[in-house]
Structure 1
Amino acid sequence: MRKLHDDFRLRFYRNFLRIARFPIVPIAIVICMSVFLIAATFESHQLRNSFRQTTPRKTIIIITPTYRRNTRLADLTRMANTIRQIPDLHWIVIEDGETRVTAVERMLNRTGLPFTYIPAKTKPGYPRRGWYQRDTALGYLRNYTDRITRGSREAVVYFGDDDNAYDLRLFDEYIRKVKKIGVWGVGLVGGVLVESPAVKDNKVVGWNVNWFAKRKFATDMAGFAVHLNVILNNTAVFGSSCKRGAGAPETCLLEDLGLTRDDLEPFGFNSESRELYVWHTKTLQGKYDKSKMELHGFVVE
């Protein structure tokens, strides 16, 4: 397409030179030629940009379990203000409760993001750490895939907790580029400043973690993302326990999805100066007795 525009401009210029041999060449011709060349160049750029925009981009599906606490609205707001800047993203938020919380639903509506908000109270036998909520989200995703992805299967699933800190680059430089399963370093997790895969020759050969490094997938929940097809081609869930992971759920899910260490795609290891794009932060929760405090009409949890 660009060649066609360039050829047309070249022919026009040659014809102009033929006309210019005559003794009288109105200034208007020069002006018209300049305007034409500018317009043609602009149109060429527009067409190329249009072509780029029609190239499909993978959808990012973020699954976030959440529960009532006095820091929850602050945490969710901070996360929302980050991910609302990411195009082609669907946010699945699962409430640990019998009903949706009005303040949360209002906040989700304000983001302008496509979202799904589902109440799912933790069932007996499950840890109260989002396990059941993540399983609920996986079930919803498998049953209503087309509703979320608009019929596409080019999507990546990421389990993003509501109290983590996220660099915008995590989404486009890591998550959106995942082909099967991507892994990367996470800050402030497991009692250490950094946990990460151990990588040699762009292959994961182990885990740089402080706790139970012999786990097959010794990654933090914030440190991996899985292509949607891996999720849809399997019925694996987190379940209510994971002995193989010494109590941590990541190993059981990834093993049950049929993944192996050879499938792991490491991100962020191509330079000596490596940067973290996600931190497993925790907002400090004070001890408050709401019944003894004046709220001045404001909504708090």
Structure 2
Amino acid sequence: MGSSTDHGGAGGRGKKGSGSQLWKKALLHSSLCFVMGFFTGFAPSSVSDWTSAAVSAGGVGSSHVVRSLHATGGAAVNRSLLAQAAAGAVDAGPQPLLVVVTTTESTPSAAGQRAAALTRMAHTLRLVPPPLLWVVVEANPDVAATARLLRTTGLMYRHLTYKDNFTVADAAAGKERHHQRNVALGHIEHHRLAGVVLFAGLGDTFDLRFFDQLRQIRTFGAWPVATMSQNERKVVVQGPACSSSSVAGWFSMDLSNATSPVAVGGAGYGAAAARPRELDVHGFAFNSSVLWDPERWGRYPTSEPDKSQDSVKFVQQVVLEDYSKVRGIPSDCSEVMVWHVNTTPLPSSQPSPQNKR
């Protein structure tokens, strides 16, 4: 009996040992399955699996989609993605700098309107995609108020001043604004600010598409300008006459009297038509590189130094000399994209000066 009891105890211990080993094996097996399933989840599924699932789930329509995907192949898809990325890179390429030059008047009557006009111009320029540099020129006594205003615009700007004194008569004749433009062009030339230069008056209104057209200028660009005289109730459109995007001459039209276009200059209007003596500075733009062109100083004889030293007159003269370098804006010059409101009363016998803005 004792021996049977001893054998029974040994058999119980054997059963307990085998049971614990089974639990260990089961735990190890489940752990291995868990680890394999965990890492398998990170592996990409095969194309055949999801395509077959799509066919079984979607029927005929899905099978057509799957076959089309197989027909295109991965290489074609990759090429299309690369082409789209390249096109996006071209569209997002660097754009030329727009240098917008704005002049002011130092007369007491204009001082009260300067802040409002500058604020309106700042809001317009903030709608233009960068890069853009706003160059504001004014007399030295008016610097403090304008400097505070420019700091709040959020625009990249240069604030230029001068100490020259101009009388009310000089300002009315446009001499002060002409001097301010030369100050701005001298600053651009000195610092080699490469870009497209535009003279924007405080009384000018622009179509926003106009600024996109400006960035396409390589040397010179010109466009029609509609000048509205509030006191005289008249609208005069002056600008280039274009054949496609090439400038063939210049015209002037009084829309208030419904008169026919009057030729101002250009070969397209016949030999009798003389070129205009001076272009409206608000009707053209140019690449700033012409300011430091070495040929500038040898273009005119020494008897006419004023034409080469006066930057504004120099650019105006170069535009009139060679129409082939002038790009029409828009391409056929058939749309007015710049308007100017002239609120200065002028005698009826006095012609409207082109640069008095």
The reply to whether TM is greater than 0.5 is yes
Q: Which amino acid aligns with 2:146?
A: V
SS across alignment from 1:101: helix
Measured in 2, the distance between the counterparts of 1:128 and 1:270 equals 33
User: In the TM superposition, what is the alpha-carbon distance from 1:253 to its structure 2 partner?
Assistant: 3.3
Correspondent of 1:58 among 96, 114, 120: 96
Q: Is 1:76–2:118 an aligned residue pair?
A: yes
Correspondent of 1:106 among 148, 152, 172: 148
SS across alignment from 1:270: coil
User: In the TM superposition, what is the alpha-carbon distance from 1:49 to its structure 2 partner?
Assistant: 7.6
Instruction: Map residues 110-189 of structure 1 onto 2, 5 A cutoff.
Output: 110-122=152-164, 127-145=174-192, 148=193, 153=194, 155-173=195-213, 175-188=214-227
Instruction: Please name the residue that 1:30 is paired with.
Output: none
Instruction: Map residues 282-297 of structure 1 onto 2, 5 A cutoff.
Output: 282-283=342-343
User: In the TM superposition, what is the alpha-carbon distance from 1:98 to its structure 2 partner?
Assistant: 2.3
SS across alignment from 2:146: helix
Measured in 2, the distance between the counterparts of 1:53 and 1:269 equals 21
Instruction: Please name the residue that 2:341 is paired with.
Output: 281
Measured in 1, the distance between the counterparts of 2:134 and 2:90 equals 25
Q: Which amino acid aligns with 1:112?
A: G
Q: 1:81 to 1:211 in 2, by over 3 A?
A: farther
Instruction: Please name the residue that 1:89 is paired with.
Output: 132
Q: 1:67 to 1:123 in 2, by over 3 A?
A: same
Is this contact kept in 1: 2:278–2:317, CA < 8 A?
Answer: no
Q: Is 1:204–2:247 an aligned residue pair?
A: yes
Q: Which amino acid aligns with 2:95?
A: R
Instruction: Please name the residue that 2:282 is paired with.
Output: 222
SS across alignment from 1:215: coil
Measured in 2, the distance between the counterparts of 1:118 and 1:251 equals 20
Is this contact kept in 2: 1:62–1:90, CA < 8 A?
Answer: yes
Instruction: Map residues 258-277 of structure 1 onto 2, 5 A cutoff.
Output: 260-270=322-332, 274-277=334-337
**Higher share of residues assigned helix:** 2
User: In the TM superposition, what is the alpha-carbon distance from 1:205 to its structure 2 partner?
Assistant: 2.1
Measured in 1, the distance between the counterparts of 2:86 and 2:242 equals 38
Q: What stretches of structure 2 of length at least 5 have no aligned partner?
A: 1-43, 57-77, 253-261, 266-273, 298-305, 346-357
Identity over aligned residues, as a percent?
A: 26
**More off after superposition, 45-54 vs 60-69:** 45-54
Measured in 1, the distance between the counterparts of 2:209 and 2:136 equals 22
SS across alignment from 2:215: helix
Q: Which amino acid aligns with 1:185?
A: P
User: In the TM superposition, what is the alpha-carbon distance from 1:62 to its structure 2 partner?
Assistant: 0.8
**TM-score (norm: length of structure 1):** 0.65
Q: Which amino acid aligns with 2:48?
A: L
Deviations 1:100-135 (A, max 9, x none): 522221221111111000112446797534111111
Q: 1:20 to 1:77 in 2, by over 3 A?
A: closer
User: In the TM superposition, what is the alpha-carbon distance from 1:255 to its structure 2 partner?
Assistant: 1.8
Q: 1:170 to 1:221 in 2, by over 3 A?
A: same
Greater radius of gyration (CA): 2
Is this contact kept in 1: 2:104–2:177, CA < 8 A?
Answer: yes
Measured in 2, the distance between the counterparts of 1:282 and 1:117 equals 25
Is this contact kept in 1: 2:199–2:285, CA < 8 A?
Answer: yes
Q: Which amino acid aligns with 2:178?
A: W
Q: Which amino acid aligns with 2:47?
A: F
User: How many corresponding residue pairs?
Assistant: 243
Is this contact kept in 1: 2:135–2:157, CA < 8 A?
Answer: yes
SS across alignment from 2:103: strand
SS across alignment from 1:130: helix
Q: 1:128 to 1:19 in 2, by over 3 A?
A: closer
Q: 1:218 to 1:17 in 2, by over 3 A?
A: farther
| Structure 1 stretches of 4+ moved >6 Å | 43-46
Is this contact kept in 2: 1:79–1:166, CA < 8 A?
Answer: no
Deviations 1:125-152 (A, max 9, x none): 975341111111111111112xx5xxxx
Q: 1:74 to 1:250 in 2, by over 3 A?
A: same
